[in-house]
């Protein structure tokens, strides 16, 4: 449903992509990757789930790992600008006929009440929340800098950067429009072919993308293409490639630089789960309030859009990078904690 600017001004708003919850068949190996190699802090272990954050994240977590028979995404978690926006989004979703579950505080450790629903077009499971704790790190790893939760460790993941969703090609147009019109993401760059939207990079922050959605090579709905974590410097991506290769982590693509977003990339797979993880640094920022989306044709994207230099990425024929992982349905795998 299209909205006027006046209506948009009164609408609830998403502030950031806050977290992702990943099911892993080998949580010990996943922890070796995210905690020991990438250097994320394990803030809390809660039964079969582990909650982690980067050293520059003050809130409780941006990554949940939980034991699962198969690699699966339980939820893509978005944080609102204000507490009341959570229920306002619930009202809007219900008006659209979207089934909404109310999640009790603690459904994810450290987090307040949340809502959960499936994207009405792509079927990705989203959770929207506002309240989340900001625990201090333990003495041994706490940073002297108050803007850092902990000392930089490992490869120095400082925060979650973005999520990249894949779905069936015929869903991309409607799914992307819904992210813009209902959740308020703004299109920054996009790729179309013969008038069909194939990929879009969108943000609610000055980043080029907090979220991307595109057609998956396998043409299945509700897939994770990759989740990206941010390092401070472009040269850190080279160190990550060097170190991860020496620790037996297979490199899918990179290091290289994107044309779209201009970020440095390195794609690997979590050895415990197979989920695709991008190590990301740099990129340009957008402060222009009437930014016009940069719309690429496929020829330019394949020439220098996806990969400005480095390995070619995601060709139409597919590549190691094209392997996606599925998402949960409406019911969360993190336990039957739905309220009401
Ligand atoms: Fe990415």
Interval between CA 226 and ligand 1 midpoint (Å): 7
Per-residue pLDDT for 3 more than 90?
no
Q: In angstroms, what is the span from residue 258 Cα to ligand 1's centroid?
A: 9
10 C-alpha to center of ligand 1: Å? Answer: 31
Compute, in angstroms, the gap from residue 276 CA to the centroid of ligand 1.
Answer: 10
Pairing of strands 63-67, 14-24: parallel
4 pLDDT more than 60? no
8 A C-beta contact, residue 60 and residue 133: yes
**Per residue in 232-251, pLDDT tens?**
999 999 999 999 999 999 99
Q: What is the mean pLDDT of residues 326-333?
A: 96
Pairing of strands 276-282, 294-297: unpaired
Measure the CA angle with vertex 23, ends 317 and 273; round to 5°: 55
Rounded distance from Cα 46 to ligand 1 centre (Å): 29
How far does residue 6's CA lie from ligand 1's centre (Å)? 33
User: CA quadruple 74, 79, 84, 89: dihedral positive or negative?
Assistant: negative
CA distance 262 to 308: 8
Q: What's the confidence (pLDDT) of residue 314?
A: 81
> Which pTM does this prediction carry?
0.95
Residue 337 Cα to ligand 1 middle (Å): 32
Q: What is the mean pLDDT of residues 66-84?
A: 97
CA of 261 to the centre of ligand 1 (A): 9
Burial (CB count within 10 angstroms: exposed 0-12, middle 13-18, buried 19+), residue 195:
exposed
Q: How far is the CA of 235 from the centre of ligand 1 (A)?
A: 17
* Ligand 1 centroid distance, CA of 58 (Å): 23
The full DSSP string for 250-284 is: PEEEEEEE-SSS-EEEEEEE-TTT--EEEEEEE--
Distance 169 CA to ligand 1 centre (A): 18
Phi-psi sector, 314: left (phi>0), alpha (psi -120 to 50), beta: left
Distance 84 CA to ligand 1 centre (A): 31
Q: Is residue 248 left, alpha or beta, with left meaning phi > 0 and alpha meaning psi from -120 to 50? A: left
pLDDT higher at 340 or 251: 251
| Distance from residue 208's CA to the centre of ligand 1 (Å) | 10
- Report the distance separating Cα 223 and Cα 324, nearest Å: 6
Contact of 144 with 122, CB cutoff 8 Å = no
Cα 225 to ligand 1 centroid, rounded to whole Å: 8
Burial of 99 (0-12, 13-18, 19+ CB in 10 A): exposed
Q: What stretches of 140-204 show up as alpha helix (H) in DSSP?
A: 169-181
Distance between CA atoms of 44 and 125, rounded to whole angstroms?
Answer: 23
Check residue 337 and give its pLDDT: 44
* pLDDT of 271 over the 90 cut: yes
* Residue ranges with strand state E in 25-158: 41-46, 49-53, 63-67, 72-80, 101-103, 114-118, 125-129
> Mean pLDDT across the stretch 5-27?
86
170 CA → ligand 1 middle, Å: 21
CA 253 to chain centre: 19
Separation of alpha carbons 7 and 232, rounded Å: 38
- Summarize pLDDT for 34-49 with one digit per residue, the tens: 999 999 999 999 989 9
Cα–ligand 1 centroid distance for 211 (angstroms): 8
Report the pLDDT averaged over residues 159-163: 98
What pLDDT does residue 335 have?
Answer: 67
Q: Tell how far the Cα of 164 is from the centroid of ligand 1, in angstroms.
A: 6
List helix spans (H) across 184-306.
Answer: 234-246, 298-300
Which pLDDT band holds residue 8 (cuts at 50, 70, 90)? Answer: low
What H or E segment, with its residue span, contains residue 88?
helix 85-95
Confidence of residue 289 (pLDDT cuts 50, 70, 90): very high
Give the mean pLDDT of 177-186.
98
């Amino acid at each position: 449903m299209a909205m006027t600017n006046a209506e948009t001004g009164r609408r609830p708003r998403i502030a950031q992509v806050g977290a992702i919850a990943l099911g892993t068949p080998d949580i010990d190996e996943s922890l070796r990757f995210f905690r020991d190699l990438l250097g994320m802090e394990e803030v809390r272990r809660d039964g079969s789930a582990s909650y982690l954050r980067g050293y520059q994240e003050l809130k409780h977590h941006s990554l949940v790992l939980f034991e699962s028979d198969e690699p699966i995404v339980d939820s893509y978690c978005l944080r609102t600008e204000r507490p009341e926006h959570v229920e306002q989004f619930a009202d809007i979703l219900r008006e659209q006929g979207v089934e909404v579950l109310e999640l009790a505080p603690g459904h994810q450790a450290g987090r307040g009440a949340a809502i959960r629903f499936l994207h009405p077009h792509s079927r990705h499971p989203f959770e929207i929340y506002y309240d989340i704790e900001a625990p201090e790190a333990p003495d041994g790893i706490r940073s002297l800098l108050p803007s850092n939760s902990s000392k930089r460790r490992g490869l120095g993941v400082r925060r979650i950067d973005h999520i990249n969703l894949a779905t069936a090609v015929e869903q991309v147009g409607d799914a992307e429009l819904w992210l813009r019109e209902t959740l308020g993401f703004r299109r920054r760059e996009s790729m179309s072919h013969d008038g069909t939207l194939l990929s879009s990079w969108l943000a609610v922050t000055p980043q080029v993308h907090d979220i991307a959605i595109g057609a998956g090579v396998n043409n299945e709905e509700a897939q994770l293409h990759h989740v990206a974590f941010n390092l401070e410097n472009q040269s850190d991506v080279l160190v990550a490639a060097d170190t991860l290769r020496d620790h037996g982590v297979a490199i899918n693509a990179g290091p290289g630089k994107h044309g779209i977003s201009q970020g440095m990339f390195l794609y690997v797979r979590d050895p415990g789960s197979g989920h695709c993880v991008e190590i990301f640094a740099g990129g340009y920022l957008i402060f222009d309030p009437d930014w016009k989306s940069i719309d690429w044709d496929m020829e330019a994207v394949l020439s220098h859009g996806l990969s400005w230099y480095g390995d070619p990425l995601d060709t139409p024929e597919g590549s190691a990078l094209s392997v996606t992982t599925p998402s949960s349905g409406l019911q969360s795998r993190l336990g039957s904690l739905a309220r009401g």
